[in-house]
Amino acid sequence: MSEKHVYRFGKDENGNNVTEVAGATVDEAKWITGGKGANLAEMANIGLPVPPGFSITCQTCVAYSSAGNVWPDGVLDEIDVYRKDLEKRMGKKLGDKDDPLLVSVRSGAPFSMPGMMDTVLNLGLNDDSVQGLIKKTGNPRFGYDSYRRFVQMFSDVVMGVDGQLFEDAINAKKAERGVKLDTELNADDLKDLVATFKQIFSDNVDPEKYPEVVVDGKPVFPHDPYLQLRLAEQAVFGSWNTPRAILYRKQNKIPDDLGTAVNVQCMVFGNMGDTSATGVAFTRNPADGTNERYGDFLVNAQGEDVVAGIRNTEPISDLPKTPGLEEAGKELYHVFEILEDHYADMMDLEFTIQEGKLWMLQTRVGKRTALSALKVAIQMYEEGRISRETAVMRVAPEQLDQLLHPQFDPKAKYEVLAKGLNASPGAATGAVVFSSADAEAFKEAGKPSILVRWETTPDDLKGMVAAEGILTSHGGKTSHAAVIARGMGAPCVCGVEALHIDAPNKECKVAGTDVVLHEGDIISIDGTTGDVILGEVPLVRPQLGGDLETILDWADEVRKDPARGRVIGVRANADNPADAQLSADNGAEGIGLDRTEHMFLGERKQLIQNFILAESDDVKQESLKKLGEAQKGDFLGMFKAMDGKTVIVRLLDPPLHEFLDNPRDLEVEITKEECAGKDCTEKRALLAKLDSFQEANPMLGLRGCRLGIVYPELNVMQVRAIAGAAAELKKEGFDPKPEIMIPLVAFESEIELVRAGVEKTLKEVEEETGVKLEIPIGTMIELPRAAITADEIGKHADFFSFGTNDLTQTCLGFSRDDVESAFMPLYLEKKIVKRNPFATVDPGVAKLVQMGVEGGHKANPDIVCGVCGETGGDPESIQVYYDLGLDYVSCSPYRVPIARLAAAQAKINSNGGPAKVA
């Protein structure tokens, strides 16, 4: 059976609806005739007034583009049949000199891409048919205005002539006539402009690119309406692949292989006098969700005038009160109701009123802010239109970020100075500082700052806490700066390569501009978009109300109900009592990862340094004792905040040099001092020691469980602190539930050895305190070997936590710190990778996770499996993890609400979709 390429919509000459639908539902049809085409057909089928027309399918676009802009066999004939059919249905012909048919030619992809692709209006006009239009309307000004608009739009959109040339010609005409407004030009002026525009066409169209329009060696504006139509259809197909459309798809994660439909539809005119109008509207307020009709209209205008903002529009509520438009206005208000009843959602729509008669040109599910999404979902449930599950599906998890962090005032105008990776959401504004110490000093002086660094290190933590936001010129979304900032809920833009930072001299050049930032200069950053702005941008914190809580409660209700499918938990990554409390407040059901190394910073850094560097055993033991006491204090706070809930504490993971000073700084200091004649023997010894801890590839060296094997006393100290805190709290009547996690295991023998040590220490603490502890012991799976041999490793683990940060870098060979800013943008652009694998789990890594889960269960049917890498907070990855059978995901405390919603949606998606109505 040959494929159908064209579908018609609207009525025939007898007033019968002859719509052909491309699928059983609008959602099915939109993949074939695009969102606009599918919804035009749907509106026609529910009896709304839709100007007749036809849609050429998205698949035709794909075939046309992939053949190098060549029409598939037979399609032009098929279109011709539908064109003739449309002429018959309308009783008019394109190009007719008495009563011409005019059509619009519009794009319409499966997903809305507003303004990204092409539209041509008034097609079919030529020197003959303009006379027909004038005859029919008795309005020469209208006729020539429509004609000049068409020549202008066709030349610009279809033939690529610079649009400014036409604007210049209009301005020249207005100057010649001594008038200010386009509307003051009369029919003769507009007729002159048509001639001028045609000349511009001839002078600027490339004859080699468009041989179809060449007459006697020169491009001539095509008189033939069928040629006009074919060129316009080709232009719409071509506009699928313009750089801006490609960019828009990339930003909005729309696949490139969908194509756009072309909708050819009879023109209706909103510019035929005072009983005509055009407008756009939403059935509810898309900004704040208020249940009110929302939108604007313009009397005596065409659609583009509303969008262009040339004239002031009227509020939609005035439409039924406007003389001459009362009936159409009332009908539109009725259409609002019909659309909401039919689609059970907030819709946006475009309409035109031609001489008092209402026509619907488009409808689609309305885009809305997070605030509006929450409110409308709750309203629709309360009105009995949708089920609670559908309400939960109506809010995009990523959108919640808008509500959880401060953002730039949407009314603010600003210019972007540089762009980087949107590493941690929210916006901040403050003075540039180049060191952690300066950030602290600014904080003390009451001045907000932005910490600008090449990349941050654990040393910068205090400054990161003191600053309002963090900006780095290096590193990706799982770089130190990004991970820590997300954990803290601080805005962060990282990997801004344009920044050339000279920290010692406290200045930073911005490549591609002549801006040089100095300490104290005010900048603003937007961690949601990756924008860096010179100067202050005002911030706003959106007001929440209880709507977020309501939707999250509904999400939890679905997520935790075993009757509706497998349950997936949501935990948080937190490493201090305040973050543990915040996690609990945000609804986390436990801590999935406490990175204990974060407890060794600030004043405790000296203690760990003493342990690492001291020659004397006494000093080492003393440092360990103090570290243990400090950690125990933290655990007491965390276990209390999470009383009765799991807290997974990971034994020390990073390479030890991360706690040490940079040997290069010491080397500079020594050189200076030796030049000044000082004796630096001791410092040289220290330098040698510092150097001995350096590693060429620190991520693959002495870290993870290997640390506790080389330095078993570190594990003893940590396990004692964990078990000691738990025993103490149990005695006080609390219900602490710590679990101990061994990081970066590759071999079964590693976990066996480390587990034995941990169990020995636990036993000792139980005997010393007389408290039975029963602390589960598990491991991170973050090396491919661990995932592959999970059936061996699982024999010794009560739980597995998949560390997708390390698993991604070791599986893909992408260094966490270098790859994202170095070549990830290029890899994404060239489609070598579809998504940033550090943000959304890579399919290869997902396979390793699957192997890990299966192997783990083979060895230990009761094993609990979760994810604690950054992808644990990513909605798309959460869907993958739900389907792989994981028991929980763990993410930064600030992402917990997002993960709760995403986990509920994953469950609904994988269990047959939402229930229809409550």
Report, as residue numbers or ranges, the catalytic residues.
480, 868
761 near ligand PEP, judged by CB under 6 A:
no
- Nearest approach, Cβ of residue 853 and ligand PEP (Å): 16
Quote the longest CA-to-CA distance of the chain: 105
Q: What is the smallest separation between the CB atom of 809 and ligand PEP, expressed in angstroms?
A: 8
Q: How far is the CB of 855 from ligand PEP (least distance, A)?
A: 18
The reply on whether position 782 binds ligand PEP by CB under 6 A is yes
- Containing H/E element for 353? strand 347-354
Write out the DSSP string of 772-839.
Answer: -----EEEEE-SHHHHHTHHHHGGG-SEEEE-HHHHHHHHH---TTTHHHHTHHHHHHTTSSSS-TTT
**Tokens 């699982």 found at:** 794
708 closest CA partner among 790, 638, 624: 624
Q: How far apart are CA 523 and CA 545, in angstroms?
A: 31
Measure the CA–CA gap between 339 and 348, rounded to whole angstroms. 9
Residue 595 binding partner per list ligand PEP, Mg ion, none, with a CB distance cut-off of 5 to 8 Å that depends on partner kind: ligand PEP
Q: Is 155 in the site for ligand PEP (CB under 6 A)?
A: no
| Residue 36 near which of ligand PEP, Mg ion, none (CB within 5-8 Å, type-dependent) | none
Distance, first Cα to last Cα, the chain:
42
CA distance 160 to 177: 29
Segment interacting with ligand PEP, rule: CB under 6 A, options 75-83, 440-448, 707-715, 804-812: 804-812
806 counts as binding ligand PEP under rule CB under 6 A: yes
For residues 491 and 526, the answer to whether their CB atoms sit within 8 Å is: yes
Residue 803 binding ligand PEP, by CB under 6 A: yes
593 binds ligand PEP (CB under 6 A): yes
Nearer to ligand PEP, 279 or 869 (CB): 869
Nearest distance, CB of residue 699 and ligand PEP, angstroms: 8
Least distance CB 458 / ligand PEP (angstroms): 12
Hey, what are 641's tokens? 């905040």
| Rounded Cα gap, residues 6 and 716, in angstroms | 73
Question: If binding is defined by CB under 6 A, does position 868 make contact with ligand PEP?
Answer: yes
Which residue's CB is nearer to ligand PEP, number 736 or number 803?
803
Stretch 619-658 residues interacting with ligand PEP (CB under 6 A)? 653
Q: Binding residues for Mg ion, per CB under 5 A?
A: 782, 803, 806
Cα dist. 551→242, 905, 907 in Å? 39, 12, 15
In the numeric block, which tokens belong to residue 747?
């071999």
476 makes contact with ligand PEP (CB under 6 A): no
Q: Which is nearer to ligand PEP, 388 or 571 (CB)?
A: 571
Q: Tell me whether residue 668 is exposed, middle or buried, using C-beta atoms within 10 angstroms of its C-beta: 0 to 12, 13 to 18, 19 or more.
A: exposed
Residues between 879 and 918 that touch ligand PEP (CB under 6 A): none
Number of residues that bind ligand PEP (CB under 6 A): 10
CB-based contact 270:296 (threshold 8 Å): no
Q: Which span (305-313, 413-421, 689-697, 800-808) binds ligand PEP, by CB under 6 A?
A: 800-808
Work out whether the CA dihedral 27, 29, 30, 36 comes out positive or negative: negative
Residue 804 interacts with ligand PEP (CB under 6 A)? yes
Smallest distance from the beta carbon of 708 to ligand PEP, in angstroms?
15
Phi first, then psi, for residue 456 (nearest 5°) are -90, 160
Assess 579 for contact with ligand PEP (CB under 6 A): no
Residue 108 binding: pick among ligand PEP, Mg ion, none (C-beta 5-8 Å cut-off by kind): none
- The one of ligand PEP, Mg ion, none whose footprint includes residue 440, by CB under 5 to 8 A per kind, is none
CB of 782 to Mg ion, least distance (A): 5
Closer residue to ligand PEP in complex, CB, 376/572: 572
646 binds, among ligand PEP, Mg ion, none (CB under 5 to 8 A by kind): none
Using rule CB under 6 A, residue 819 touches ligand PEP = no
Measured from the CB atom, is 110 or 869 closer to ligand PEP? 869
Least distance to Mg ion from the beta carbon of 699, Å? 9
Cβ proximity to ligand PEP, 32 vs 652, nearer residue: 652
d(CA 307, CA 377): 28
Q: Does 778 bind ligand PEP (CB under 6 A)?
A: no
* CA pair distance 898, 402, nearest whole angstrom: 11
Nearest partner of 34 among 244, 263, 256, 228, judged by Cα: 263
Strand extents, DSSP E, 203-268: 214-215, 218-219, 261-266
E-state strands within 585-631: 590-595
Selected binder of ligand PEP within 388, 480, 595, 706 (CB under 6 A): 595
Binding site for ligand PEP (CB under 6 A): 593, 595, 653, 782, 803-806, 868-869
